[in-house]
Amino acid sequence: MRKYAIVEVSERQLEDLVRQAPDLIEAGLRFVDHQAFTARGPLDVLLVDSGPALIVAELKVIEDDTMLVQGIDYYDYVLRNLDGFARAYSTHNIDTRQQPRLFLIAPSFSVTLLNRIKWIDIPIRLFTFQCIEFEDAIGELVPVYKEVTPPELPDPYTGGYSLADRYSYITDLRIRTIAQQLVAEIEAWDSQRVFPEATKYDISIKLSGRVLALIAPRRKHFMIYTSDPEGKWTGYSVNSEADIDVVKPLLRTNFNRIGGGQGI
């Protein structure tokens, strides 16, 4: 096994690492520009996803609660000038019908920032990072990103969202099919008591009115949130059918726990 060390980087170095390999953050991401001018100052990085929707990325190399306000300022400017950005970066074919996203990338996030985000009604994604340097490749830095999901406010179903909309957000058709098949299989465990419903950004799977799991679509994968063996709400990334095989036994266990084993 190759030996490595975790190293600190400057914000400029982090920006350069994001530019070189944005798909390490999320599959399908492409670099658009950095330090682009806005009335609020130069924003760190612009990306485009496989949608192709525009992404505003705010970067910090220390835990810093001010990044939330900064990111929202840049996001506000980009959203209000989205047509102009699409024209300026026409080679990226930005779809102005799709709402841009805001990415916050930092080594860690405070509880305060996480709690504030749940009150903000824009699509925000959080990623922690570490940079590693292998002993046999001194000077070559490799960033490792991990998505963090903040707590969410309850989002009562109002009939305004559809499962089809949530599935269509996944641009990888193979992954989309896996998500659809998983939800259908869970529903079949007890068709009278299991109810999948679309929320603003996710799919909530309820058993007798209690949330069994949350399916969070991403462009090239999706997340499954459910209780782990210690009872902690935990997210699992699904990039293939093999990932489903790992989390499905846990979903069945939680199904039995919540529903008393009926219907299986």
C-beta atoms surrounding 132 within 10 Å = 14
The reported pLDDT for the residue numbered 152 is 66
pLDDT digits (tens, 9 = 90+) for 80-114: 999 999 999 999 999 999 999 999 999 999 989 98
Query: Whole-angstrom Cα distance, residue 239 to residue 190?
Result: 26
Q: What is the pLDDT of residues 107-151, one digit of tens each?
A: 999 989 988 988 898 999 999 999 999 888 888 899 999 998 877
For residues 124 and 112, give the distance between their C-alpha atoms in angstroms, rounded to a whole number.
15
pLDDT at residue 259 in the model: 76
Give yes or no for a contact between 67 and 60, defined as CB atoms under 8 angstroms apart. Answer: yes
- Strand bridging mode 222-227 / 101-106: unpaired
DSSP per-residue string spanning 102-128 = EEEEES---HHHHHHHTT--S-EEEEE
Q: What is the pLDDT of residues 18-61, one digit of tens each?
A: 999 999 999 999 999 999 988 888 999 999 999 999 999 999 99
CA distance 235 to 232: 10
Which tokens go with 77? 């400017």
Global pTM? 0.70
pLDDT score recorded for residue 135: 84
At 195, list the tokens.
């109810």
Give the pLDDT score at 23.
95
Q: Distance (Å, rounded) from C-alpha 161 to C-alpha 159?
A: 6
